[in-house]
Amino acid sequence: MNAGILGLGRYLPDKIVTNADLEKIMDTSDEWIRTRTGIEERRIANDDIDTSDMAYEAAKAALNNAEISAEEIDMILVATVTPDQSFPSVACMIQEKLGAMKAAAMDVSAACAGFMYAMITAQQFIKSGAYKHVLIVGVEKLSKVTNWEDRNTAVLFGDGAGAAVLGPVSDGKGVLSFELGADGTGGKHLLQEGDFIHMNGREVFKFAVRQMGESSLGVLDKAGLTKEDVDLLVPHQANIRIMEASRERLGLPLEKMTKTVHKYGNTSSASIPMALVEEMEAGRIKDNDLIVMVGFGGGLTWGAIALRWGK
């Protein structure tokens, strides 16, 4: 049984923090941030909005878009590294809010590759016939683990949530191939230490540029497809230079790569589903399009999926 995306949704906090705003509180500049990252602004959640609140709003939107009721959901997977607390999981919290009482629920921790890990976990349950509908959410409130005095990391991150409903689709549609991987020896380069995110930018950049390109090509090869078959590349929105390196590795024109990093910054596990919603709402995803999604993150982890759009 093939598994594909039946519906998408997202939640964006109202508060916009621009590079000019950051110039007022730290030694940085709009030009420095834009030229190195491509980021111009990011969304930051208010203190009274936590991770589960954003996840719930995105999940509701995805269910509405899929025209699936909460009672029809068999499992909820939430990819996040910034849960409200250690337990109960964010997945259990939104299960209650949604009224999805049939659904099993758990969180998935794979940092910025979390949505890829959750999506393939869902695909395996659907493909086996164990479950029919799985709700997955990528959500982060990174502002609560960001050191606003560290200009090397504070300029990068934002808050938000993206969600998808996965279910059975017709032959030839849905997930065609995937690649998941991890290298725990690189965990020291991107981690939460104490209260805040710490990152060795040079090492993470080198890893991401190599892995994003290799994984994108890898899933195409597994699916028996070529670079010329790709209609849309949806990379993790971390840094425009990393994204551009991945696009060039696939030989794609600019218009075939999703770009939201300038508006939302790095939202970790939320970035790929949020970008998919952007493309869907703009009418840039068409039935039968071949989409390559690829992400990387702390762990170090990575994941890529080749997906044929449609039901």
For residue 190, the one-letter residue type is L
Whether 236 is catalytic: yes
The label of the residue with tokens 């690829």 reads 294
CB 184 within 8 A of CB 298: no
Catalytic hit among 19, 65, 92, 112: 112
Whether 239 is a known active-site residue: answer no
Q: Which residues pair with 166 in a beta bridge?
A: 5, 134
The strand ranges marked E within the chain are: 2-11, 16-18, 41-43, 75-79, 104-108, 134-141, 159-169, 174-182, 190-193, 196-199, 232-235, 290-297, 301-308
User: In the numeric block, which tokens belong to residue 157?
Assistant: 């991150």
Amino acid at 37: T
The residue written with tokens 């508060």 in the block is 15
DSSP string covering 73-90, please? --EEEEE-SS-SSSSS-H
* Tokens standing for residue 7: 């519906």
Least Cα distance to 112 among 247, 274, 285, 221 occurs for 274
Distance CA 273, CA 224 (A): 25
Residue of 146, 171, 131, 175 lying closest to 5 (CA atoms): 175
- The HSE-up count of residue 216 (CA atoms within 13 Å, CB side) is 34
65, 189, 236, 239: which is the annotated catalytic residue?
236
10 Å Cβ neighbour count for 108? 24
- The answer to whether 266 is a known catalytic residue is yes
3-state SS assignment for residue 191: strand
Supply 212's token pair.
């994003």
Indicate which residues carry an active-site annotation.
112, 236, 266
